[in-house]
Amino acid sequence: MDRAFQRTKILTNHLLLQSSDPPPSLSSNACLSYSAPEDSESGNYAFDIEEMRGLIDGHHVKERDWLFGLMMRSELFNPKVRGGKVFVSPDYEQSMEQQRELTMKRIEYLQGEGVFKGWLTEKEEEIVLRICAFLEVLSIFDHSINIKIGVHFFLWGGAIKHLGTKHHHDEWLRATENYTVKGCFAMTELGHGSNVRGIETVTTYDSNTGEFVINTPCESAQKYWIGGAANHATHAAVFSQLHINGTNQGVHAFVVQIRDADGNICPNIRIADCGHKIGLNGVDNGRIWFDNVRVPRENLLNAVANVSPDGQYTSPIKNPDQRFAASMAPLTGGRLNVSVNAVYQSKVGLAIAIRYALTRRAFSLKRNEPEVLLLDYPSHQRRLFPLVAKTYAMSFAANYLKMLYRTRTPESMKTMHVVSSSFKATFSWNNMQILQVCREACGGQGLKTENRVGHLKGEFDVQSTFEGDNTILMQQVSKALFAEYIAVRRRNKGFKALGLGHMNKNRPVIPSQLTSTALRCSEFQMDALCLRERDLLNRFAFDVSKCRAKGASAEQAFIMCYQLGEDLSRAFSERAIFQTFLEAEATLPAGSLKDVLGTLRSLYALNCTEDSSYIRYGYLSVDNGASVRREITRMCGELRPHALALVTSFGIPDAFLGPLAFNWVDANSWSSVEAKKFKSSICSYFFLNFLPQNKSSSRFHNGSSFPKNPDSNQSSTPILSAVATFIQRLFKLLSTGAFREQCIRRRGDEEAYRRAQRGGTGLAVRVDMGFVGNKFTWRSDLYFGSDDYRIKVSKIW
Ligand SMILES: Cc1cc2nc3c(=O)[nH]c(=O)nc-3n(C[C@H](O)[C@H](O)[C@H](O)COP(=O)(O)OP(=O)(O)OC[C@H]3O[C@@H](n4cnc5c(N)ncnc54)[C@H](O)[C@@H]3O)c2cc1C
């Protein structure tokens, strides 16, 4: 208590110090005045945004907010004040090595907070949605942290879990969850990426010692791009050709320790860095060479096949193709992670671009009239709203994919593979398109890294390549559809799997004159999407069969019919996504939420039918094509009043959106230039309760306990009077204009305040000490208030 009292007095004395006047800031009134979208958009939201968020997030909303809070609270997440708000985002001015170390430190912090508890040791169906929710939240902060965790848990952990057996689970799952083991996944080689079957690493078995011998026989066999290998990983799941008694049994996975607990590289292993990348530099991708590395026989992950001590190879899966497919099981989890995170990046981009478009004006229509808000231009609406609709559609599809993954069985593995491949490719392609449009919609500001949207393009570009190259994945989708088509025709039983039941019905007929009502009808929309899919499947099957009849191999035939295959896999994907939208909508009672979702659903469907394939293959007449186009424009206008609500429903805290989404005039003012010069070297937080309550436990922000008051009534008196004096002087200074003040309305930049608030009406103080040039200086940020009055004051002393 004495210490707290002393600190309050010191702070109060500081308030009396004469400080040099701050540099004059330009009044914004004469030029532009920023008006927050919440103030300028008319009235209340037409629907309940919390309900909408619940629907699109689908699960674990509270847990997500808890994790957002953990990040906002820690200095490790690089909080920065811009325009009076605190934003968290990685510091991309750091070197690659610094980014990697900080990513690891952030993971250790999250580990300490219990974020990963149960990820590998609880029953998968009970934990997997929570894992997905947390990875979504983490990717909103930074792709690197998501991928570094994803590789460790989904790829390395997934390999142990799905390709290993009890002995492997006992040895490595808990150790992985605790990060005593740091895992990586070594599949790709310099010479072979998409073509995993072609990898050249060779493993033989030495029955004299009961060991496998793993070797990199040539440069193209070096493991490449292995996330975690360059700096941190201690263990690797190594994929290799397994040669037994002179026979190549195909690709199998082995556990190899590559570093000891002190980080030293193990004998007979060489590791090099992949170097700087266009994004994702917080992940230490590395290359690995194995020089006849010996591992015990038990290190073969033997769920798919085993080798006996005397060197006999056995497998319950006799078909080598099926055995190979089973060995690829861990990739499904990684693909799920990529798919879902692509959706969240689109949300970040759109939330920033739309909030900016609601505050940025350009050109007056008439002299002396105010300039027009970007989002009031129909062309701007046309650029952004179809992408909002697409993002909503992807959210529902992502939730469906998560459920499919959670309830997967051996029987549903084919569906899981096809749907996850098509969604992964579609979502990540959509994400890049959305980020590009959002970047351009933000003009030059979109180029600034701190505004996030442009930078995310570099960060997420890799999504179309790793966890299965998109083009290759889409080829697999069309091949699977072809196989299903041939199987159904052979069995003569009707289509059922992969959502192809519509193939059993009559071919849908599109009316010759499409009215607005028809275009907005979900039956028409489904018909239009099914028509394209069934026709393309028929054409693809016909052309592939024709090539085969002329003597081409199956692979040659697919290669020759690639264009139809690409159109078909996109048609499958968009129809499957649309189906999930309809199902989500069907869960809602009539009302405003359902109405706005209906418009978004129609916009998504019509946007798909605007695709050139509809005219190319003649599913829509030119007139109907024009009607679709007109209807899309009309719907964009209808969504304009809901723009803010639609992106607020994404549930992304302000702190993760970047300055452009808020007061970008303030964020670029002269005073912000001054504030930026301040380099903090020491930082501490504490808070004081004005009205201590028994239930509240006072804590310093940095975690050390505030001395607990044994008798709050008595001993709080000196504190109260000290605080009262402090506030009095504070207000005096405020009135002299020596302070910048800002009312805080939004989550994100008030974490310290909220800590104070937990104990009732309170005061939170953050103090930074450091140097500006050679001059020692310190800065205090004070948060105080109650539920209806909140204020933040910053001052550089
Ligand atoms: C940042 C990053 C992290 C990674 N992390 C890991 C990791 O942790 N572990 C791991 O094992 N791997 C990892 N990878 C590797 C990744 O999985 C591969 O890059 C990916 O599988 C593609 O392989 P590739 O780069 O060799 O491209 P390629 O397979 O050579 O493909 C190059 C191009 O050719 C096209 N192409 C290839 N074959 C065909 C075909 N039959 N028909 C038509 N077009 C074709 C592809 O579409 C692509 O456009 C990572 C990669 C990156 C970039």
Q: Which of 163, 432, 465 to mutate to test the pocket of ligand 1 (most atoms within 8 A of CB)?
A: 465
CB of 188 closer than 6 angstroms to any ligand 1 atom: yes
Give CA–CA dist 58/583, Å, rounded: 13
**Rounded-to-10 torsion of CA 32, 33, 38, 43:** -100
Residue 421, pLDDT > 70, answer yes
* Candidates 3.40.50.300, 3.30.70.3340, 1.10.3720.10, 1.20.140.10; CATH matching 332-648: 1.20.140.10
Task: Please report the pLDDT score of residue 368 as a whole number.
Answer: 86
Task: Please report the pLDDT score of residue 634 as a whole number.
Answer: 98
Atom of ligand 1 nearest to the CA of 196: 21
* Span 264-302, pLDDT tens digits: 999 999 999 999 999 999 999 999 999 999 999 999 999
Task: Please report the pLDDT score of residue 775 as a whole number.
Answer: 56
**Edge-to-edge, what's the strand order for the sheet holding 740-742?**
679-689, 762-772, 775-786, 789-796, 740-742
Residue 358 CB-half CA count within 13 A: 27
pTM for the complete prediction? 0.84
Selected residue with higher pLDDT from 250 and 788: 250
CB of 13 closer than 6 angstroms to any ligand 1 atom: no
Q: Which of 194, 199, 285, 429 to mutate to test the pocket of ligand 1 (most atoms within 8 A of CB)?
A: 194
Task: Please report the pLDDT score of residue 706 as a whole number.
Answer: 29
- Ligand 1 centroid to 464 CA: how many Å? 9
Backbone Cα Rg of the chain? 30
* Span 61-80, pLDDT tens digits: 999 999 999 999 899 999 98
Q: How confident is the model at residue 194 (pLDDT cuts 50, 70, 90)?
A: very high
Give CA–CA dist 561/544, Å, rounded: 6
Give CA–CA dist 531/525, Å, rounded: 10
Q: How confident is the model at residue 739 (pLDDT cuts 50, 70, 90)?
A: very low
- Ligand 1 centroid to 188 CA: how many Å? 8
CB of 580 closer than 6 angstroms to any ligand 1 atom: no
Residue 264 CB neighbours (<10 A): 8
CB of 144 closer than 6 angstroms to any ligand 1 atom: no
Beta bridge partners of 792: 742, 783
Give residue 569's Cα distance to chain centre: 24
Residues 6+ apart with CB under 8 A from 773: 677
Selected residue with higher pLDDT from 180 and 42: 180
Q: b vs e for 189-207, b when ≥16 Cβ sit within 10 Å of the residue's Cβ?
A: beebbeebeebbbbbbbee
Task: List the one residue out of 390, 431, 415 whose CA is nearest residue 572.
Answer: 415
Q: What is the rounded average pLDDT of the residues 744-750?
A: 34
Residues 6+ apart with CB under 8 A from 208: none
- Ligand 1 centroid to 362 CA: how many Å? 43
Give CA–CA dist 425/463, Å, rounded: 8
Task: List the one residue out of 93, 130, 99, 103 whose CA is nearest residue 115.
Answer: 130
Q: How confident is the model at residue 689 (pLDDT cuts 50, 70, 90)?
A: very low
Q: Tokens 């190549």, residue? A: 248
Task: Please report the pLDDT score of residue 786 as a whole number.
Answer: 45
Give residue 150's Cα distance to chain centre: 11
Average pLDDT for the chain:
86
Residue 89, pLDDT > 80, answer yes
Q: Whose CA is nearest to atom 48 of ligand 1?
A: 469
CB of 227 closer than 6 angstroms to any ligand 1 atom: yes
CB of 413 closer than 6 angstroms to any ligand 1 atom: no
Is the dihedral angle over the CA atoms 543, 544, 545, 546 positive or is it negative? positive
From residue 300, alpha-carbon distances to 173, 240, 329 in Å are: 16, 11, 16
- Ligand 1 centroid to 194 CA: how many Å? 5
Position 27, amino acid: S
Residue 43, pLDDT > 90, answer no
Residue 656, pLDDT > 50, answer yes
Give CA–CA dist 692/370, Å, rounded: 50
- Ligand 1 centroid to 466 CA: how many Å? 6
Q: How confident is the model at residue 235 (pLDDT cuts 50, 70, 90)?
A: very high
Residue 701, pLDDT > 90, answer no
Decide: residue 530, CB within 10 A, 0-12 exposed, 13-18 middle, 19+ buried: buried
Residues forming CATH 2.40.110.10 domain(s) in the chain: 180-329
Helix/strand/coil percent split, the chain, to 5: 55, 15, 30
Task: Please report the pLDDT score of residue 39 as a whole number.
Answer: 86
Decide: residue 85, CB within 10 A, 0-12 exposed, 13-18 middle, 19+ buried: buried
Position 127, amino acid: I
Q: Which two tokens stand for residue 610?
A: 């605007």
Lowest mean pLDDT segment, chosen from 103-117, 354-368, 695-709: 695-709
Task: List the one residue out of 215, 223, 247 whose CA is nearest residue 315.
Answer: 247
Residues 6+ apart with CB under 8 A from 222: 189, 190, 216, 287, 288, 289
Q: What is the rounded average pLDDT of the residues 170-189?
A: 98
- 777 close to 674: Cβ distance less than 8 angstroms: no
Give CA–CA dist 32/38, Å, rounded: 17
Phi-psi region of 531 (alpha: psi -120 to 50; beta: other; left: phi over 0): alpha
DSSP conformation letters of 337-348: HHHHHHHHHHHH
DSSP conformation letters of 101-156: HHHHHHHHHHHHTTTTTTTTTS-HHHHHHHHHHHHHHHHHH-HHHHHHHHIIIIII
Task: Please report the pLDDT score of residue 690 as a whole number.
Answer: 37
- 7 close to 687: Cβ distance less than 8 angstroms: no
Q: Which two tokens stand for residue 45?
A: 């939201």
* Span 397-414, pLDDT tens digits: 999 999 999 999 989 999
Residue 731, pLDDT > 80, answer no
Give CA–CA dist 132/400, Å, rounded: 13
Q: What end-to-end distance do the CA atoms of the chain give, in Å? A: 26
Collapsing DSSP states into helix, strand and coil, what is residue 690? Answer: coil
Domain 180-329: assigned CATH number: 2.40.110.10
Give CA–CA dist 163/220, Å, rounded: 26
Residue 715, pLDDT > 60, answer no
- Ligand 1 centroid to 469 CA: how many Å? 5
DSSP conformation letters of 509-521: ---SS--HHHHT-
Q: Whose CA is nearest to atom 25 of ligand 1?
A: 193
- 481 close to 498: Cβ distance less than 8 angstroms: yes
Beta bridge partners of 776: 771
- Ligand 1 centroid to 240 CA: how many Å? 17
Position 245, amino acid: N
From residue 400, alpha-carbon distances to 405, 409, 586 in Å are: 9, 15, 14
Lowest mean pLDDT segment, chosen from 34-38, 463-467, 703-707: 703-707
Task: List the one residue out of 385, 77, 142, 456 whose CA is nearest residue 447.
Answer: 456
**In the chain, % of residues over pLDDT 70:** 80
CB of 466 closer than 6 angstroms to any ligand 1 atom: yes
Task: List the one residue out of 431, 345, 394 whose CA is nearest residue 139.
Answer: 345
Task: Please report the pLDDT score of residue 677 as a whole number.
Answer: 54
Residue 769, pLDDT > 70, answer no
Q: Which two tokens stand for residue 774?
A: 């050679």
Q: Whose CA is nearest to atom 2 of ligand 1?
A: 225
Residue 54 CB neighbours (<10 A): 14
Q: Whose CA is nearest to atom 31 of ligand 1?
A: 194
Task: Please report the pLDDT score of residue 80 as a whole number.
Answer: 87
Give CA–CA dist 323/103, Å, rounded: 36
Q: Which two tokens stand for residue 257?
A: 């320790």
- Ligand 1 centroid to 196 CA: how many Å? 10
Give CA–CA dist 631/265, Å, rounded: 62
Selected residue with higher pLDDT from 545 and 1: 545
CB of 187 closer than 6 angstroms to any ligand 1 atom: yes
DSSP conformation class of 761 = S
- 290 close to 268: Cβ distance less than 8 angstroms: yes
Q: What is the rounded average pLDDT of the residues 662-681?
A: 72
To 10 degrees, what angle do helices 592-609 and 522-549 make?
30
CB of 472 closer than 6 angstroms to any ligand 1 atom: yes
Helices (H) and strands (E) in the chain, counts: 28, 20
Q: Which of 472, 474, 562 to mutate to test the pocket of ligand 1 (most atoms within 8 A of CB)?
A: 472
Q: What is the rounded average pLDDT of the residues 591-617?
A: 96
CB of 328 closer than 6 angstroms to any ligand 1 atom: no
Task: List the one residue out of 236, 208, 206, 214 whose CA is nearest residue 292.
Answer: 214
Residues forming CATH 1.20.140.10 domain(s) in the chain: 332-648
Beta bridge partners of 785: 762, 790
CB of 460 closer than 6 angstroms to any ligand 1 atom: no
CB of 151 closer than 6 angstroms to any ligand 1 atom: yes
Q: How confident is the model at residue 688 (pLDDT cuts 50, 70, 90)?
A: very low
Give CA–CA dist 765/61, Å, rounded: 30
Residue 711, pLDDT > 50, answer no
Task: List the one residue out of 589, 633, 662 whose CA is nearest residue 47.
Answer: 589
Lowest mean pLDDT segment, chosen from 93-97, 182-186, 240-244, 748-752: 748-752
Q: How confident is the model at residue 346 (pLDDT cuts 50, 70, 90)?
A: very high
With vertex at residue 655, the alpha carbon angle to CA 649 and CA 656, rounded to the nearest 5 degrees, is: 70
E strand or H helix that includes residue 481: helix 470-491
To 10 degrees, what angle do helices 453-460 and 330-357 make?
160
Q: Whose CA is nearest to atom 36 of ligand 1?
A: 472
Q: Which two tokens stand for residue 302?
A: 């033997």
| Three-state secondary structure readout of 192-256 | CCCCHHHCCCEEEEECCCCEEEEECCCHHHCEEEEECCCCCCCEEEEEEEEEECCEEEEEEEEEE
